[in-house]
Amino acid sequence: KEFPDIPIGYSGHETGIHVSVAAVALGAKVLERHVTLDKSWKGSDHSASLEPAELAELMAMGSPVKQMLPCEASCHSK
């Protein structure tokens, strides 16, 4: 509400997709999630990343067409 002209996003570092879905329900226009092929791999991001099936489930809830945000218009018209 404080920045009505700026699209709000959510950067998730939790397991699963539920918090990301809630963020969109609360108004997030952009999601950023890490993706891995195997959560058991070593490294700090793998355990909190989405595996391909989770990413597919999250993406299936949205539109398959990329929708341009108003802030992207000037880059697109170049």
For 38, how many CA atoms within 13 A lie in the half-sphere containing its CB? 3
| CA 70 to chain CA centroid, nearest Å | 18
pLDDT, one tens digit per residue, over 37-64 is 999 999 889 999 999 999 999 999 988 7
The pTM score is: 0.75
* DSSP 3-state of 11: strand
pLDDT, one tens digit per residue, over 2-43 is 888 888 899 999 999 999 999 999 999 889 999 999 999 998
Give 78's pLDDT tier (boundaries 50, 70, 90): low
